[in-house]
Amino acid sequence: MQWYTKHLGLKVVSQRMEAPFTAFLADDSGRVMVEIYKNPADEIPPYRTMNPLLLHLAFVSESPDVDKDNLLEAGATLVAEDRLEDGSHLVMMRDPWGLAIQFCKRAKAMLLDKEPG
């Protein structure tokens, strides 16, 4: 949780300090939230060996190169980097626990800056 708040700008909106140690992390839009927790009822998936396209967290990025360099310094690893014909720039990484994270700078934004009215 601390790694995600420090290096990805997520903020803790709710946290449970006893088992199952749940935390809800929100992005700065206030519309996207990720829940992380420890669930002893099941094994941790083998994130490091899973194809990152099977499961990853995607973040909009104005500067994928800067975000990539910052996360490399913070213990993440680079998986792939793609510059698409349309001008999009995609960087796939793994966090220190192997979960895939993608930074996306799309040539054409996929999300609206404000809600349709």
Indicate the Cα dihedral angle 70, 75, 55, 53, nearest 10°. 70
- Count H helices and E strands in the chain, helices first: 2, 7
Q: Is the dihedral of CA 115, 1, 19, 41 positive or negative?
A: positive
Instruction: Give pLDDT tens digits for 15-36.
Output: 998 888 899 999 988 888 999 9
Tell how far CA 66 is from the center of its chain: 15
Spatial separation of the C-alpha atoms in residues 26 and 32, rounded to whole Å = 6
- Predicted TM-score (pTM) of this structure: 0.84
Under CATH, what is the fold of the domain 47-108? 2,3-Dihydroxybiphenyl 1,2-Dioxygenase; domain 1 (3.10.180)
Q: What is the pLDDT of residue 84?
A: 95
Confidence of residue 112 (pLDDT cuts 50, 70, 90): low
Integer Cα distance of 102 and 64 in angstroms = 9
How many angstroms separate the Cα of 49 from the Cα of each of 38, 45, 46, 97? 20, 9, 6, 11
Residues of CATH 3.10.180.10 domain(s) within the chain? 47-108
